[in-house]
Amino acid sequence: RSEVHSKIDNFFDRFRMGTLLHQCGIRKRHGHGVRPLIKTIFTLPFVGKNFFRGIVINEDLPFGKDAAYELLKCSTYN
């Protein structure tokens, strides 16, 4: 893991991003959790990737592009 990923992990832990997302009503009903999706999207500019390169064509992610697009499309993720 890179230093960037470690710093982002620390940021998410320090500011309790999972709790904040839940309090804002952004939570999952099925599929992948919100926190990993948000963290992956949040990380993109810090690792020099755009959405297409970092999500759409990235086969190393545990979720597909549809999950990321669904998160961005909905005001409260389901």
- High-pLDDT (> 90) share of the chain, %: 72
Tell me whether residue 54 is in a domain.
yes
Copy the structure tokens of residue 55: 């999500």
Q: Read off the DSSP letter of residue 70.
A: H
For the chain, what is the domain count? 1
Tell me whether residue 68 is in a domain.
yes
Distances (CA, A) of 43 to 6, 9, 30, 37, 55: 11, 10, 23, 10, 11
Tell me whether residue 78 is in a domain.
no
Summarize pLDDT for 11-37 with one digit per residue, the tens.
Answer: 999 999 999 999 988 887 778 889 999
CB 40 within 8 Å of CB 54: yes
Tell me whether residue 22 is in a domain.
yes
Tell me whether residue 52 is in a domain.
yes
Place of tokens 């959405």: 51
Containing structural domain, residue 37: 3-73
Q: Mean pLDDT across the chain, nearest whole number?
A: 91
For 3: left if phi > 0, alpha if psi spans -120 to 50, otherwise beta; the answer is alpha
